[in-house]
Chain A
Amino acid sequence: MFGIMAISFSDIGVALTLAAIGGGLVWLTIRSVKGREVPRRLIFAFVFVAVSLPVLFPITFKERMTPTVKAVFDKIESLPPGSRVLMSFDFDPAMAPEVQPMADAYMRHCLSKGHRVVFMSLWATGQALMTTSLDRVVRREFSQKVNGVDYAVIGYKAGNEGVLNVIVTDIRKMFPTDVNTVPLDSLPIFDGVRSCKDFDLVLTTGGGYPGAKEWVLFVGDPGNVPIASGVAAVTAPLLYPYYPRQILGILGGIKGAAEYEHELVNRYPQFADTPAPGLRMMGPQTLAHLVIMAFIIIGNITYFRSRKKEPV
């Protein structure tokens, strides 16, 4: 009816956010031309605005899968229904905002395809985060799936790569029971499963130690088990030496999660209304990156101006 009516409160918020950040950066650039350094606290303030306002007024983007993400998606797609997937939650609450969206997306994808998933953790904090994900995804969206048949939770075991060193030959030696002290032998999902080698795919989510690298060194390579990984952005470059032969695909940081979520909704429209934290957080991340880039430019202007001022 009236064009102006189509503008929502959120759009105004986005416009104001961009104007506030853009205006502030122009002001700082003018200051830098005069050779003045930007105080740390001012940098912090800009990052705060760039991250927090897009959380209040969401800015969303369309994502396209990069090859490292596509490789993981295609692998899960190509496995026949009923395949066994081992999923490890190797992260803590600090990394969770970045990595847990990947774990949730993996869960949705695997269970939708009819794969049987076993959940474990090499991090003490991973088990509690696993419970959160199980409540949010499996028990809410896949309530028809049966514990012990379609999925199993074997939880956390201390020992880092020592655990992997053992489960690559015998999983029961480290995990005789699931988290509810039910013996693995009485769970149908473990019929014929003796070690990690009996899984069709291992999905590791994490970003620290122990993490994807240890999975490759102690399970993937010695056991010939395909491994895919979802890791914090800072860890992703470290995994490139293992891609694509030792790690078949990598989801790196929020961007990786967003690409995966986007593709999942494309292929499985039933997930259109489920939360997609990866996609939602791309707005704050994009603005934060742009602000950091602006500060790098401002820093260089200040540097060159101050160099000119120096006596020869």
Chain B
Amino acid sequence: MKRTVPLFITFFVGTLLIVSVFLPPVQSMGENFTLFFDIIAVFAFFLGGGNLVRIHLDKVSRRKKDWGYSLVTLFGFFLVLASGLFKIGNAGGIAASVTASGSWFQTIFERVMNPLSSTMYALLAFYVASASYRAFRAKNREATILLIAAFVILLGRTPFGTMITAWIPDSLSALQVPNMAIWIMSSPNLAGQRAIMIGIGLGVVSMSLRVLLGIERTYLGEDKG
């Protein structure tokens, strides 16, 4: 029973979503089911938040290793939660936008969240450099083609690429680095992307059918086909 009910729900909702594409009277039902997931996902915030608070409260109360960080986590969690929930410092009161200028929520977002997230993302610049150094080596013919393409794209995305090939006449403009970069992006890259996307699309169909028909049940915690 524990497995049959979820399998039935999966089959019923999945089939309905497919059928709704072809049967107009069922279409709105299909739309409503996609909204149901969002409603369930909202309750999942309580699940996630609850789990986070439980783990860190446990760490603080037992004075486990690095419990000070847990204290910071809990402080941040409750501060942002209260700021957003009660719209503290919000000029328009409780009816106004949660992100109104000057509100605590917006201030925390701009002064803390924004720089921290940007910093993490900026790490990519360092990792791209170290990964490129290791990966782009002319070990064989394919790797050499990849290396040349990477070079052209890197150059083409900078004004430097325009400068070094500006002398090439317009009749041979295809040989200018930015145009070569555009060609690589819109021809070989596009062809590859489309092939991968078709493969992925078919993979999704196959995987979804396995889940829908109950052949694949591992995600439910059942390891039998």
**Does B38 lie within 8 Å of A240, measured CB to CB?**
no
Pick the contact of A38 from B35, B133, B147 — CB < 8 Å?
B133
Report the bound CA distance from A47 to B125 in whole Å.
Answer: 7
Supposing A94-B120, A166-B31, A237-B193 touch, asked if A61 and B159 sit within 8 A by C-beta, the answer is yes
Supposing A44-B129, A127-B98, A292-B154 touch, asked if A93 and B113 sit within 8 A by C-beta, the answer is yes
Comparing B178-186, B203-211, B216-224, the segment that makes contact with chain A is B178-186
Q: Which residue of B lies closest to A307 (CB)?
A: B139
- Nearest chain A CB to B123 CB, angstrom units: 9
Supposing A44-B126, A303-B138 touch, asked if A286 and B158 sit within 8 A by C-beta, the answer is yes
Across-interface contacts of A238 in B (CB, < 8 A): 193
Report the bound CA distance from A95 to B122 in whole Å.
Answer: 9
**Does A289 lie within 8 Å of B37, measured CB to CB?**
no
Report the bound CA distance from A130 to B97 in whole Å.
Answer: 12
Tell me whether B16 is interfacial, beta carbon within 8 Å.
Answer: no
Tell me whether A22 is interfacial, beta carbon within 8 Å.
Answer: no
Contact with B along A80-97 (1 / 0, CB 8 A): 000000000000111111
**Does A282 lie within 8 Å of B159, measured CB to CB?**
yes
Contact with A along B111-143 (1 / 0, CB 8 A): 001111110111001101110111011110000
**Does B38 lie within 8 Å of A292, measured CB to CB?**
no
**Does A292 lie within 8 Å of B129, measured CB to CB?**
yes
Comparing B2-10, B46-54, B64-72, B99-107, the segment that makes contact with chain A is B99-107
Q: How many residues of A are counted as interface, with CB atoms below 8 angstroms from the partner's CB atoms? A: 65
Near B by CB (< 8 A), chain A positions 56-95 give 61-64, 66-67, 92-95
**Does A292 lie within 8 Å of B95, measured CB to CB?**
no
Supposing A44-B129, A127-B97 touch, asked if A95 and B34 sit within 8 A by C-beta, the answer is no
Pick the contact of B138 from A132, A253, A300 — CB < 8 Å?
A300
**Does A240 lie within 8 Å of B185, measured CB to CB?**
yes
Q: Which residue of B lies closest to A255 (CB)?
A: B157
Q: Which residue of B lies closest to A286 (CB)?
A: B158
**Does B137 lie within 8 Å of A158, measured CB to CB?**
no
Report the bound CA distance from A131 to B122 in whole Å.
Answer: 23
**Does A131 lie within 8 Å of B101, measured CB to CB?**
yes
**Does B159 lie within 8 Å of A180, measured CB to CB?**
no
Tell me whether B199 is interfacial, beta carbon within 8 Å.
Answer: no
Across-interface contacts of A253 in B (CB, < 8 A): 157
**Does A296 lie within 8 Å of B162, measured CB to CB?**
no
Tell me whether B109 is interfacial, beta carbon within 8 Å.
Answer: yes
Across-interface contacts of A300 in B (CB, < 8 A): 136-138, 147
Q: Which residue of A lies closest to B163 (CB)?
A: A61
**Does B193 lie within 8 Å of A64, measured CB to CB?**
no
- Nearest chain B CB to A226 CB, angstrom units: 20
Near B by CB (< 8 A), chain A positions 187-205 give none
Pick the contact of A241 from B117, B120, B162, B190 — CB < 8 Å?
B190
Tell me whether A185 is interfacial, beta carbon within 8 Å.
Answer: no
**Does A296 lie within 8 Å of B151, measured CB to CB?**
yes
**Does B99 lie within 8 Å of A128, measured CB to CB?**
yes
Supposing A240-B190, A296-B150 touch, asked if A289 and B155 sit within 8 A by C-beta, the answer is yes
Interface-central residue, B138, B158, B182, by most chain A CB under 10 Å: B158
Tell me whether B58 is interfacial, beta carbon within 8 Å.
Answer: no
**Does B114 lie within 8 Å of A62, measured CB to CB?**
no
Tell me whether B189 is interfacial, beta carbon within 8 Å.
Answer: yes
Supposing A96-B114, A292-B132, A300-B137 touch, asked if A181 and B150 sit within 8 A by C-beta, the answer is no
Q: Which residue of A lies closest to B101 (CB)?
A: A135
Pick the contact of A40 from B130, B138, B139 — CB < 8 Å?
B130
Across-interface contacts of B113 in A (CB, < 8 A): 93, 125, 128
**Does A303 lie within 8 Å of B97, measured CB to CB?**
no
**Does B130 lie within 8 Å of A127, measured CB to CB?**
no
Pick the contact of B118 from A96, A161, A288, A293 — CB < 8 Å?
A96
Across-interface contacts of A23 in B (CB, < 8 A): none
Near B by CB (< 8 A), chain A positions 120-178 give 125, 127-132, 135, 153, 155, 158-162, 165-166
Supposing A166-B31, A289-B157, A293-B151 touch, asked if A128 and B106 sit within 8 A by C-beta, the answer is yes
25 sampled A-B residue pairs with Cβ under 8 A: A46-B129, A94-B120, A125-B113, A127-B97, A128-B106, A129-B114, A131-B99, A132-B110, A166-B31, A166-B35, A180-B92, A180-B97, A237-B185, A237-B189, A241-B190, A241-B194, A253-B157, A285-B157, A286-B158, A288-B125, A296-B133, A296-B150, A298-B133, A299-B132, A303-B139
Beyond A135-B101, A285-B158, 17 additional contacts (C-beta under 8 Å) are A64-B162, A94-B120, A96-B114, A97-B118, A128-B113, A129-B114, A131-B100, A159-B38, A233-B157, A237-B193, A240-B189, A241-B190, A255-B157, A282-B159, A288-B125, A300-B147, A303-B139
Nearest 5 CB-CB pairings of A with B: A61-B159, A94-B121, A179-B97, A93-B117, A162-B34
Interface residues of A (CB under 8 A from B): 38, 40, 43-44, 46-48, 51, 61-64, 66-67, 92-97, 125, 127-132, 135, 153, 155, 158-162, 165-166, 179-181, 233, 236-238, 240-241, 243, 253, 255, 282, 285-286, 288-293, 295-296, 298-300, 303-304
